[in-house]
Structure 1
Amino acid sequence: MFDRPTTEERLNRSSSRGLVPYFTLLMALVYTGLGIMMWLPQANIFALPTTTRRILGSVFIFYGILRFARTYRQHFQQNKNHNAR
């Protein structure tokens, strides 16, 4: 009756899937950059005590590195191994 694509057909388009890994890597760099900015002494933009700012900055740095490694392993290393077959 209607010639609409299914949800799976819309979600499996290659153009949107190609940008997701790069966006995720960009967000990982944003988290890491925010963490580094919170560690700097001139970053008094945040009304937090120094100890709290450094703990929160460490969490952001750790999360950014973790997210970067996970995204790289999932999207880029898998494609390298998959193309070698």
Structure 2
Amino acid sequence: MLDRRPARERLGQKSPQRLTRYFVLVMAIVYTALGLYLLLVPVSIFSLPTTPRRLLGAVFVLYGIIRFVRNYRSITGKDDEE
């Protein structure tokens, strides 16, 4: 039979989509880390009052976690859509 896989797979090259998936996971970790930084560090580079800084930090943490979970599921193929 004919091997109908793309040439990249036959030659053992990694696809750009695979690299993009891992970059998205790293960015999710960066968002979470930035949110934790805004939440935990009392004096920061940002000249924001305490309440908006904590609110922004919480949004970053939640967004980073949601983004990480969604992309991790799509990479591992464990989507709950049936």
Mark yes or no: TM-score above 0.5.
yes
Using the size of structure 2 for normalisation, the TM-score is: 0.73
Aligned to 2:47, what secondary structure does the other structure show? coil
So what's the TM-score if we normalise by structure 1? 0.70
Cα deviation, 1:3-52, whole Å, max 9, x if unaligned, reads xxxxxxxxxx9520110111010000000000000012344211100010
Give the structure with the higher percent helix: 1
Q: Does 1:73 align with 2:73?
A: yes
Residue 51 (structure 1) aligned with residue 55 (structure 2):
no
Which ranges of structure 2 fall in alignment gaps of 5 or more residues?
1-12
Structure 1 CA distance, aligned partners of 2:43 and 2:74? 34
- Percent identical residues: 51
Structure 1 residue ranges without an equivalent (≥5): 1-12
In structure 1, the partner of 2:25 is: 25
Runs of 4+ in 1 over 3 A off after TM superposition: none
